[in-house]
Structures are given as structure tokens and as C-alpha cells.
Amino acid sequence: MKAVNFLAAGASHRDGAAAFQKASHLTPAEKKALAARLAGQPGVTGLVMLSTCNRLEVYLAGEGDAALEGALAVFAAATGLCADSSSGSVFRGAGAVRHLMEVAAGLESEMVGETEILGQVKQAYEAACAEKRADGAIHRIFQKSFQAAKMARETSGVGHGQVSLGAVAAEMARRIHGDIARCRVLLVGSGQVGTDVAQALAARGVGRLVLSSRTQAHGEALAAETQAECIGFEAWPEALAGADVAIFCTAAPGVVLSLATLRAAIKARHGKALFLLDLAVPPDVEAGAGDLEGVFLYNFTDLAAAANENRRGRMTEVEACRQLLAERAQRLWEEVERRGAMHGLEEVEETPGSVPESQ
């Protein structure tokens, strides 16, 4: 029987903008088609594709080195990633398991310890289960990785502090304005990031929150939940003139706030400063906005820096968390190899789809 193999490949913010941008042209439909193509490669028995605003990775299980190396070549040709050492990262065996655990625990995130990534990894795994692309090795590795990530966060303290994007954005708005209870915030976008930001602002008692979304139903539901005002997507440029802080986090493929629209808002503000938070990837705000007089622009990198302000003091916890996960990953991989050799890949874990919270 061929040996069980596991491989993780792709790119994130850690690999640099040049590497990650190679795959930014892929649409969600193209990524889904690529996942299907990879799953169909000879010898590939399981596959999970993880796609976030600053990460695109594929996790592959299969029989023998040749099968996964062939699939990796297909992935590289389609995305431009992992063709060489400067265009992404590749992890194999226990290293791939450790990488997955560290990603799920938030250790590989730009905001170290952030909480959203665990949900995103679970969603990617559940999508693979729904598409019947999760074999026994995938089930075992992902389910145990979720448990390990949760345990490591709880025991190491790596997640202490403001580590969710919504919480950090709300805290940034408070710092900018000084009194969140008197702050008027315009939020453009009602996806996952917009939802997190709106909930965090509402929890902190924001004075006035105006939501605008391309999907009116989403915007209205979120507004009702957070006691905000919902306006049509065509109306936000006018609302921009009266906002203290404007936060943009749409999933648009290009610029949403142009310099022309921004200049019109500045003129209507009569010299009052405008603070912009652009949390979108690619950016919602046109380049050069921060150079305009009276405009102060903060992006995702600025928020990550704010979230990591106390990271130096938490480095002991971070390193302890990495060591703990490294030990867990090695043990899990040895178990997967043993059980795979004894029973075959499909029987490494017989309960697909369930995600235990702890063990």
C-alpha cells in the first residue's frame, strides 16, 4: 500500500504582496473550478482550498509523493504560486499539519491571535466535505487541528487583547475620534468584515452608525441587529460628507471610493478632517487619498500594527503556542501515517463533517 501523504501550498501576506497578487486575478468561480481540477488529479484523495482576503492555500492528501507533486504543479500553473521559492510556500507531512494548526490558531495572521481565521478554516473544510473532497486523512487532520488550535489559544493566552478585526477597527475609531459615543461612522460593506465591525461598534456604544451595502437585504438585517441606519449603496457618497469616520470593507474587485468622490466630500465638509479606514483587499479607496489635505487614511496594515502593539509582551506566549502545536502536529502526523498504513486513507477518520470543539 502506498504511504499517506499530506501537503500544504500557497501564499499569504507573509510571502509578500508580489507573491500573493499572482493569484488575486482568480474569481471565486475560478478557484472552485481549480479545486475540482486538483481533486481529479491521479492519486489525490482529499483536498481543502482556503481562500481569504490575504491567503490562498490548498491542502492536499494523497498516495505517494508523485501524486501530490503533480497536483502542486497544476496549482502552480493556474495561480502562479509555488513555482519557485519566491512565489509562495510549500509544507509537507508533519510540517503541513503544523502549518495548518498555526493558521487555525491565528499565529500566521497579520494580526497575531485574531479569531476570524479559525471560522474561515472550518468553512473551507466544511465546503470540502460538502463537495465530497475530504478523505479520511483530511477529516482526521482538520478535526484534530481545530481542537489543537482552540486548546493552544486557551492555554497560551496568545489571543488576549484586541485581536478580532472588528474589535481593532472599533478601537481605532475610538482612538481617532476620542469619544465613540459622539462619533458618526459610515460603514460601507456588510460582508463578514462589515458585520464584525458593525457589531463591535454597536457593543462600544457608537453614537451613530450608517450602513451601506450593495446587498440591501444584508445591510438592512445588519442595521436592525446593530440599531444602525441603512442607506442605499448609491447614497453613501452623500453620507460621507457628514461622517467623522468612514470604514470601507466591500468585496469589490476595484476602487469604490474615487479621488473625485472624495474631493467632493472634502469640499462639503468645510475644512473638517475626514478619517478613512480601508479594510478591503484589494483596496476600496483609490491610491493617493491619504495625500489629500484633511484626509487621514488607515489600511489593514495599520490596524494590524495597532493590534500587534502588545505583541512584544506576548512573544513568550506566541512561542509557547508554536512549540505546543509543533508537538501536537508531530504526534498527529505519526498517528495518521500509522492508521493510513493499517486501514487505508478512507478509514483514517470515519466521521466526516463533524467539528468537535474540544477534546
* CATH superfamily placement of domain 4-160+311-347: Glutamyl-tRNA reductase, N-terminal domain (3.30.460.30)
Q: Where are the domain boundaries for CATH 3.40.50.720 in the chain?
A: 165-307
Q: What is the DSSP letter of 84?
A: S
Architecture of domain 165-307: 3-Layer(aba) Sandwich (3.40)
Distance CA 134, CA 355 (A): 13
Tell me whether residue 53 is one of the annotated catalytic residues.
yes
pLDDT tens digits, 317-327? 788 888 889 99
DSSP codes, 229-275 = EEE-GGGHHHHHTT-SEEEE----SS-SB-HHHHHHHHHHHTT--EE
**Is residue 306 classed as helix, strand or coil in its secondary structure?**
helix
Q: Where are the domain boundaries for CATH 3.30.460.30 in the chain?
A: 4-160+311-347
Cis peptide before 352 (omega within 30 of 0): no
Distance CA 235, CA 116 (A): 30
Cβ–Cβ under 8 Å, residues 95 and 136: no
Q: What pLDDT is stored for residue 196 in this prediction? A: 87
Distance CA 14, CA 111 (A): 11
Distance CA 320, CA 328 (A): 12
Q: Report the chain's C-alpha Rg in angstroms.
A: 22
| Averaged pLDDT in 10-residue chunks for the chain of 359 residues | 84 75 78 95 96 90 91 94 86 97 90 82 96 95 94 70 71 81 92 88 91 91 93 94 93 91 92 90 90 90 70 68 92 90 52 45
Distance CA 121, CA 59 (A): 11
Distance CA 116, CA 55 (A): 13
